[in-house]
Structure 1
């Protein structure tokens, strides 16, 4: 086996991997997710989803509690091996908004603990 054969093998490998990658891009753009939902996280969202899982908690190997958000309502579901049960329905709570502190305000608060702290986008 000479050096030319090794170059041909690597060129063929690169060609095959490029074709597979190109097919994956075409499938993702066309919406052909099918049995590969893991590719969905890289696709651009076309619309806002109405259904989302907020939180899950495993109770034991056969049962878990799931909080599902549908539009403006949250449903608490008990999922088991042989049945599902709705435990509670309530209006959905607003998502918490993160407001980072201004670094200078942190220094001022460390020096003077009773002073008010300035948040980004707010003036004193």
Structure 2
């Protein structure tokens, strides 16, 4: 009986290592997570760069030291189509609806 229980524990441990523990969190019926850490990197013993994803948009944060900073964002997620040069030019050249009129 003890051997059966130990065998079950070993097989379960192997399955979790093989397929990852995150697979259990992606079962049908579970809510989709809105916030997650994509990557983190230690700059020194006190500061870290952290790339987080919130609602499909990524933000780069500098944490630690005397204050935390939002360095960059929103960043399109990796694999998303980046805007082309022509798209950026067209958006910059398009007149805005709230542009002030000429000054007399």
Q: Structure 1 or 2: larger helix share?
A: 1
In the superposition, the TM-score normalised over structure 1's length comes to 0.40
Report the structure number with the largest CA radius of gyration. Answer: 1
